[in-house]
């Protein structure tokens, strides 16, 4: 069985201590990327397209809200789930982040098990959705294949029956032996192909 690729997490925080701490908490379960500025975070998100981004709000030059807005404006990164990691305890800031598309908040100082569980819960949802989407795509592909095969096979039945019928008529004529052998080969091959078409269509 092919080994499944790990889910991935991107941590964006200008405080390297936080970045290292979060990486240590998560790296045993996920592939973890880190960035120490908003711009670096956007570039890494575009390059790796992680499943989840843990994003600090208070950063110099480009704050977390600006980073999130930039991520949501790109077709490649707009569906990445973003969890804010922040010291802010302000309903207005929280509302702003949720309005921009964040899915959750983790407050600093963070509790390792809480971080793990919040990320784990979101990853579980992501993986379940992927299974559902993959199943739907597979079913859609199989239906399309069967429909195509059915149409092609039905289109082949009439000419195959014509070939077999005409071969039978010719075999009843007085013809040289070597030509009869050719006709026998055509007849056998045609019947084999007709049987294959019937099997594909489920015709007894």
pLDDT for res 120: 92
pLDDT for res 32: 96
Rounded CA-CA distance 24/39 in Å is 23
pLDDT for res 202: 67
Rounded CA-CA distance 136/173 in Å is 56
- 133-139-140-144 Cα dihedral, nearest 10 degrees: 160
pLDDT for res 97: 81
State pLDDT tens for residues 100-131: 888 888 888 888 999 999 999 999 988 898 89
7 φ, ψ (degrees, to nearest 5): -65, 160
| pTM: predicted TM-score of the whole model, two decimal places | 0.68
For residue 121, give both structure tokens: 């819960």
Q: How far is CA 112 from the centre of its chain?
A: 30
3 compared with 87, residue with greater pLDDT: 87
State pLDDT tens for residues 132-165: 988 988 888 888 877 877 777 667 777 888 888 8
Q: What angle do the packed helices 112-171 and 177-201 form, to 10 degrees?
A: 150
State pLDDT tens for residues 188-202: 888 888 888 777 766
pLDDT for res 2: 42
For residue 75, give both structure tokens: 């077709």
- Other Cβ atoms less than 10 A from the Cβ of 21: the count is 18
């Amino acid at each position: 069985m092919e080994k499944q690729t790990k889910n991935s997490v991107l941590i964006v925080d200008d405080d390297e201590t936080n970045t290292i701490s979060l990486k240590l908490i998560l790296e045993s379960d996920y592939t973890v990327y880190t960035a120490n500025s908003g711009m670096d975070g956007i570039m890494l998100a575009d390059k790796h397209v992680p499943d989840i981004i843990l994003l600090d709000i208070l950063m110099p030059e480009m704050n977390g809200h600006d980073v999130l807005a930039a991520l949501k404006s790109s077709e490649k990164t707009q569906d990445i789930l973003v969890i804010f990691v922040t010291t802010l305890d302000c309903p207005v800031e929280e509302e702003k982040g949720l309005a921009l598309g964040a899915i959750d908040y983790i407050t600093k100082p963070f509790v390792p098990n809480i971080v793990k569980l919040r990320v784990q819960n979101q990853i579980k949802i992501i993986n379940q959705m992927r299974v559902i989407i993959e199943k739907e795509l597979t079913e859609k592909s199989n239906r399309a294949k069967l429909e195509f095969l059915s149409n092609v096979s039905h289109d082949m039945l009439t000419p195959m029956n014509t070939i077999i019928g005409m071969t039978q008529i010719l075999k009843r004529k007085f013809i040289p032996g070597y030509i009869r052998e050719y006709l026998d080969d055509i007849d056998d091959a045609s019947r084999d192909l007709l049987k294959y078409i019937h099997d594909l269509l489920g015709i007894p």
